[in-house]
Structure 1
Amino acid sequence: MPLDVLTPDAYRQLEHAASLKGLLKPFKGKGELEHLAQVARDIEAQLGRLMEAVMQQTGRPPYSLLEMRLVRQNTGAGSTFLRWRTRDFVRMGVAVWEQQMANPALPPAVRDGLHRFECERIALNLQMSVVHSLFRQASTCAIKMASAEQVLRQFTIAVEVSP
């Protein structure tokens, strides 16, 4: 049976860091947006540690004896997701997990554990996707706000200098 990696205690730090009250407010400058981006980056790192813990569990018997494993996949956008992969790395995705689940020789306790791992994988991938999107959006908005501040300074200086 899987251990309880994704317990409420595992998420306790994330709950405090991920409060939406810091997101739903007027931002006064690029610094606040940069701070939001950093908070999102920190949460991504914490989610990465939870992903690693789930991967370690799937790497232990009896799951390590199966013809698949759970791996981290880095995306071109800079995020990381958990994917099922065959041992020979020929196939990847949910179909690999489904094929293993369909194995009639699979003991019920192992099937239940795989189901739980799949649910944890789905939830972690969702959370990583949302947090990474928040990071990208906050970073982009910080750049845009810095640009707007620079334009304001240029025109303020131009107005002060002109006769």
Structure 2
Amino acid sequence: MSPMIPVQPMSLEVLTHDAYRQLEHAASLKGLLKPFKGKRELEHLAQVAREIEAQLCHLMTAVVQQTGQPPYSLLGIRLVLQNTSAGSTFLRWRSRDFSRMGVAVWERQISNNALLQAVREGLHRFERDRIALNLQMSVVHSLYSQATTCAIKMDSAERLLRQFTTAVEVSP
């Protein structure tokens, strides 16, 4: 890596308010804070959470693509999508050779005195976006998991009630 990176960074406008506009409508808490009457409502909530996860993943991909452009692509770090065993996706910093991972990789790069201030500020913006998107993904994935689990429990409770009601009706 050369001591100074001469390329000026491109505009960092991936995560504008417009990028989030569609998510804002889908993610209204109004639909969450209500009495759920059955399994179907919880399954719908889980489906909405899955759709929001897909939209967040799209935003994450856009950030990763932007970090893959010069001057950031010339640095010793990469921002990558990491899929978890739980089925969600998070943004992670990795060294160029993939030997190290985590925020320490980003900290080391941003602390490089040879880095142009504009590049340092761009990396800071990417880190802010990474933190926010990971938080949002974590919350939405947790909502999906909880809604799915609660739908199963609701179904089980409804089946037990039907079973008991049928048994009582059959009894003489």
DSSP-derived class of the 1:158 partner: helix
**CA deviations over 1:81-100 (Å, ceiling 9, x no partner):** 00000111100000000000
* Residue of structure 2 aligned with 1:70, choices 56, 79, 91: 79
Q: Is structure 2 residue 89 aligned with structure 1 residue 96?
A: no
RMSD over aligned Cα atoms: 0.6
| Percent identity between the two aligned chains | 80
* Residue of structure 1 aligned with 2:91, choices 82, 104, 107: 82
DSSP-derived class of the 2:98 partner: coil
CA–CA separation in structure 2 for the residues paired with 1:101 and 1:17 = 35
**Matching residue's letter, 1:19:** S
Normalising to structure 1: TM-score of the pair?
0.99
- Look up the match of 2:155: 146
CA–CA separation in structure 2 for the residues paired with 1:20 and 1:5 = 25
Q: Gaps spanning 5+ residues in structure 2: where?
A: 1-8
Matched residues, number: 163
Instruction: Write the mapping of 1:29-68 to structure 2, written as runs, cut at 5 A.
Output: 29-68=38-77
DSSP-derived class of the 1:97 partner: helix
* Residue of structure 1 aligned with 2:21, choices 3, 12, 16: 12
Shift of 1:101: 0.6
Determine if contact 2:12/2:122 at 8 Å carries over to the other structure.
no
Determine if contact 2:27/2:52 at 8 Å carries over to the other structure.
yes
Q: Is structure 2 residue 127 aligned with structure 1 residue 127?
A: no
Kindly report structure 1 stretches of 4+ aligned residues shifted beyond 3 Å. Answer: none
Shift of 1:75: 1.3
**CA deviations over 1:27-85 (Å, ceiling 9, x no partner):** 01000000000000000000000000000000000000001100011112211100000
- Look up the match of 1:118: 127
- Look up the match of 1:161: 170
Shift of 1:3: 2.3
Q: Gaps spanning 5+ residues in structure 1: where?
A: none
Determine if contact 2:46/2:145 at 8 Å carries over to the other structure.
yes
DSSP-derived class of the 2:105 partner: helix
